[in-house]
Amino acid sequence: MKNFSELRPSEEDLRALLQKKILIMDGAMGTMIQQEKLVEDDFRGELFKSHKGDLKGNNDLLSLTRPDVIRNIHKAYFEAGSDMVETNTFSATSIAMADYNLEEIVYDLNVASAKIARQAADEAMKKNPSRPRFVAGAIGPTNRTASLSPDVNDPSLRNVNFDQLVLSYYDQIKALVEGGVDILLPETTFDTLNLKAAIFAIENFFDDLGKRLPVIMSITITDASGRTLSGQTTEACWNSIAHAKPLGIGLNCALGADAMRTYLQALSKNADCYVHCYPNAGLPNPLAATGYDEKPKDTASSLFTFADEGILNMAGGCCGTTPEHIHVIAQKLEQAEPRRVPEVEPALRLSGLEPFELKGQVTSLTTVGERTNVTGSPRFRKLIEAEDYDSALKVAKQQVENGANILDVNFDAALLDGEACMNKFLNLVASEPDISKVPIMIDSSKWSVIEAGLKVIQGKCIINSISLKEGEKTFKNHARLAMRYGAAVVVMAFDEKGQAATLEDKVRICERAYTILVDEVGFTPSDIIFDPNVLTLATGMEEHNSYGLDFIDALRVIKKRCPFARTSGGISNVSFSFRGNNMVREAMHASFLYHACHAGLDMGIVNAGMLAVYDEIDPKLRDCVEAVILNKNPEAGEQLLEYAEKVKDQNSNRKSDGPDLSWRKKPVSERLSYSLVKGIGDYAEQDAEEARILLGRPLEVIEGPLMDGMKVVGDLFGDGKMFLPQVVKSARVMKKAVAYLEPFMEAEKDGKGSKKRGTMVIATVKGDVHDIGKNIVGVVLACNNWEVIDLGVMVSCDKILEAARKHNADVIGLSGLITPSLDEMIHNAQEMQKGKFAIPLLIGGATTSKAHTAIKIAHHYRNAVVQVPDASLVVNVCNDLTQEDKKKDFITNLKADQKKVKDQHEKRGERPLVPLVESRTLGFEIDWEQVDVPQPFKEKLGVHSFKAELTEVLEYFDWSPFFWSWELKGKFPDILDRGEVGKEASELYENAQKLLKRIIKENAFICEAVVGIWPAHSVSDDVEIFEDLEKSKKLETFHFLRRQQSLPNKPHFCLSDFIAPRECQKLDYLGAFAVCAGQGVEKLAKEFEDQNDD
């Protein structure tokens, strides 16, 4: 055992202590100083006797003028049970001391404070040599904020900048370390940009020192909004600072422990380091001895609850806490188990005011709004040149409203001061929460402009871009600075030889860059985003023909060879040859995105408001476009140019005649569906009224054509043929139509005078902004006499449960579209259980499922947890769950069904899944050069059908699956002899034989088959079939699934593996058949049903 009376404890000792126990921090310094009743002379001492201006209240000065007071406070905390105390340096930066005109004493002040705390720690270890005691250098947030303007009339103004903060923090850090601290602790962070500056200064100092110290960081959630003063959520803040790889992260100040619980849970879940909490002693109370409400036992009890939940590694106190608080906390937590630090799944984690995450296999394109880019948007450039920043902000806001997940910002224009424009525009963006909620992509070819942006963004942003163009030295330097600023990077496929155009060069450069970044620089792989260069197609130059296909193929290879890295591309580049012809350009973008996303494209820089729907592109145009993108033939470019001219002429005519309104001639239900898919809101109210008159009731319109249309949108989105911005536009049309119908529904409800059936509190869960499904559910319930308390989107669990209590809810409904929402739903269920709720929980949204609810959510809550797949079902579910005569049976059946699903899942066991991109590289390999593909008779090509008698078919009947469908396991005929199972199976078999005899006798069923054989070739997981041997006309594309379960040393099969690939030029075929032996079954079933024998 170490003797700490002779040996100063190390970082290893600190980590060892954190593994064993919950580390006890100290309590408030200011509270203890106030109890000393010090006067002005105490703060002045001899050193500042003649200083101009009052010094009382500058507590840090006491380390120089009354060191005995500070030493005794440290000593009291160590005696109370603290393992660590903080230095008396909360305001000891030159920026904070400037208010007292004492900037010049910062070095001496910090050294003295550190030595006092060090001395107190050493004395405590002499008394108990087996127990290490630590000193943390307290680094306050300063009294300036880098993200907020001090002038409401000028939101771009700042009273401190990043560079000033870095210099100020560096001086303090240097002095603290020289004074003997063991740990650096930037605390009470109300502005994440200030903390990022502190991190930058810490890293600079570590470089100069030649070694590192442990760093613990603490943030402050200012009120019940759950955000810092500068507007970030807890998770967003963590994403912004995680690059520092701290020893610990946590919360302090502003709130009491109970109010911190939700935010501490979020940190505990997301942070791959230790987590602390040192709260205030409840709420301020000027009548209390410490100025705060809570007694020591109250604070200790709350912290023990956190420990019991497994979300705490370090605990202490902030404002209003005393050595007595720390003593009770230490006793209460003495035997508590420390939180286990989780292994967090690698992911690209970004943030604006809110977090954004890309992890695992991405199923939907992340869209980067491109219109705030002066090189790509003439309108935006003109606004910036005219210094019309208000209008420029509207462009940014429109991109976000249209569904952009990230905002690309670029000021690379000859007549613009890029650094000044970037600084001003991003400062203005910070003042607009509707824009700054999303992460920023800082886009420039000049590093100085990129750094100007990095210094004003509190969130975690993306740098666009760095490359090997100027050699490895510059590349590494930029990468290291990106890490220090805490940014992800787009890496262009560009090296010393130039821009990569071929598949081989794209892969070679990206792989080289990945190796340098990960192995030499230490860059986090998931923070790397490769752009393999989207280059212009149909230029008329033969060597450009493969640009599209090479980009797509490069995505697959890069994903395989560069684990956890992401991919991106500037999509509009692909169609630059057709500028001025929006119809062709939009078709090219949609088709290119469709194929690129299937190959592994994670994000695309696009105009979020101008994306065509893949399935809605004119088939002829789509064929022409895809022939160019996939380089299907050398004449593809010319053919598209010819077609583009025709389309251009048609567009010109159409512009003069107005938009194409031929779809307005369709029936109203089809028009509503068309409007939803296309995102056209101009006729939503008109068509909703026509449908209302036609169908008789407004609810019939919602549950009929409107929901049918949204199902089409959902299917297209799921297939990758629509992207989120388009879904957002569809949702707006839906909202408009529903809003028009709502007054009619209210009138209908009032006319009936029915009493209220119940109350539902409904919300889209925290982290999710999608609400169309939730809104429909609310309308449907309201029309059926339910009171609906709609809390909106991004709603925290606390607010949902608080509303449920307030309104005495009968049901809680949770909605979510994105995958992370599922985890938030689990959290809500857990909190309902802890809160002893006894009402049903309904789950809904695109990512929810019956299986997930049964396996992952239901067991966390004792009451009913029901996944409702469709808004039209919600009324019956709610009624069944709240009517006493139905409730018990419904819940019993539900629980039994969920147990069955869960048991079956556990029996199967879960095998890890390989990412799809990687799985594609592990497919079944065939040497097609050595394969002699059988050639069918030419007359057998195409589709053929025939009929057969049931007696002819019966001899081929496999009876085993018949018994399985009745949940009788076994193989026929052995199953007939298996004890009780055999008895049941034999009886079932006899009944089936009797029924078959009747069917044959009455000729009740007609057996038919259809067989097709077509020329075909494979393209990755897809198979394309053709009408003729020359493959001149494509009939269809089949999209097959590839096995992704981890299978060591075994192929990851896909049906497309067995069809010759397009590039090998070998003639192959795909066969398909469909059989039906059930024509007539409905009639027979109806007979049994009429006889009550169904």
Query: Do residues 376 and 410 touch, judged by C-beta distance below 8 A?
Result: yes
Catalytic one among 768, 771, 790, 1021?
768
How far apart CA 332 and CA 81 sit, in angstroms, is: 11
- What is the helix (H) or strand (E) element at residue 416, kind and residue range? none
Query: Do residues 843 and 762 touch, judged by C-beta distance below 8 A?
Result: no
How far apart CA 197 and CA 169 sit, in angstroms, is: 8
How far apart CA 78 and CA 985 sit, in angstroms, is: 77
How far apart CA 242 and CA 246 sit, in angstroms, is: 7
Catalytic one among 821, 919, 1018, 1056?
821
Residue 770 designated active-site: yes
Structure tokens at 1057: 């593996």
- Angle between helix 323-333 and helix 296-309 axes, rounded to 10 deg: 30
Nearest to 274 by CA among 8, 580, 22: 22
CA angle 812-756-866, nearest 5°? 25
The amino acid present at 610, given as its one-letter code, is M
Residue 1017 designated active-site: no
How far apart CA 599 and CA 884 sit, in angstroms, is: 53
Q: Is 761 exposed, middle or buried (0-12, 13-18, 19+ CB in 10 A)?
A: buried
Contacts of 1018 (CB under 8 A, 6+ apart): 1024, 1056, 1057, 1059, 1060, 1061, 1062
- Map residue 350 onto helix, strand or coil: strand
DSSP at 818:
S
Nearest to 242 by CA among 205, 275, 211, 272: 272
Location of structure tokens 């909620």: 437
Q: Is 847 exposed, middle or buried (0-12, 13-18, 19+ CB in 10 A)?
A: middle
Torsion of CA 217, 222, 226, 229, to 10 degrees: -80
Contacts of 1007 (CB under 8 A, 6+ apart): 947, 948, 949, 950, 952, 953, 1075, 1076, 1077
Cis peptide before 973 (omega within 30 of 0): yes
How far apart CA 865 and CA 894 sit, in angstroms, is: 9
How far apart CA 237 and CA 215 sit, in angstroms, is: 16
How far apart CA 920 and CA 395 sit, in angstroms, is: 40
Query: Do residues 737 and 690 touch, judged by C-beta distance below 8 A?
Result: no
Catalytic one among 74, 589, 770, 1017?
770
For CA atoms 174, 175, 181, 183, the dihedral sign is negative
The string of DSSP codes covering 422-490 is HHHHHHHHHT-HHHHTS-EEEE-S-HHHHHHHHTT--S--EEEEE-STT-HHHHHHHHHHHHHHT-EEE
Q: How many CB atoms lie within 10 A of CB 539?
A: 14
Location of structure tokens 């007539």: 1080
Q: Give how far the C-alpha of residue 761 lies from the chain's centroid of Cα atoms, to the nearest Å.
A: 25
How far apart CA 324 and CA 176 sit, in angstroms, is: 28
Give the CB-side neighbour count of residue 1091, counting CA atoms within 13 A.
7
For CA atoms 417, 418, 419, 421, the dihedral sign is positive
Structure tokens at 924: 């079944």
Residue 852 designated active-site: no
Query: Do residues 125 and 4 touch, judged by C-beta distance below 8 A?
Result: yes
Instruction: Return the active site residues.
Output: 768, 770, 821
